[in-house]
């Protein structure tokens, strides 16, 4: 499984403030890690129950509430230990399912003249 929690420039000791709670960033990341592992196990079980035999690997993504997974995210403030000001921002998580096509295989020419013919056709089109 790939894990990726990207909160650059912050340390585990920094404090993150949600609407009604404060938590150290390191603890928040540990909570996400635990929840992600539980989510992955649930998804694997669901696939197996539906006879989908897939080797599934995921980016780390979970929910705080529904807005956490939306583009809007959740309003937070982070306090760095050496900075007297809270930095406002948003935390959001993404679950990404994407298709990455394989590169097409290069077909070998059947005749050495095929490459010359293709070059001639390209010149005629210009």
pLDDT at res. 63: 33
**Residues with Cβ within 8 Å of residue 60, at least 6 apart in sequence:** 2, 3, 4, 5, 32, 33, 36
**Alpha-carbon span 17 to 51, nearest angstrom:** 42
Domain parsing of the chain, residue ranges: 15-125
pLDDT at res. 88: 92
Condensed to tens digits (0 to 9), the pLDDT of residues 111-126 reads: 777 778 888 888 887 6
Is residue 82 over pLDDT 80? yes
């Amino acid at each position: 499984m790939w894990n990726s929690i990207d909160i650059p420039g912050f340390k585990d000791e920094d404090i993150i403030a949600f609407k009604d709670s404060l938590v150290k960033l390191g603890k928040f990341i540990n909570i996400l890690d635990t929840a992600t592992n539980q989510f992955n196990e649930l998804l694997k079980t669901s696939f197996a129950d539906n006879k989908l035999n897939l080797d599934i690997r995921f980016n780390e993504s979970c929910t705080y509430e529904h807005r956490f997974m939306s583009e809007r995210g959740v309003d937070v403030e982070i306090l760095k230990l050496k900075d007297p000001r809270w930095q406002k921002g948003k935390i959001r998580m993404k679950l990404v399912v994407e298709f990455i096509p394989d590169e097409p295989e290069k077909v070998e020419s059947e005749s050495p003249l095929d490459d010359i013919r293709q070059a001639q056709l390209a010149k005629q089109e210009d």
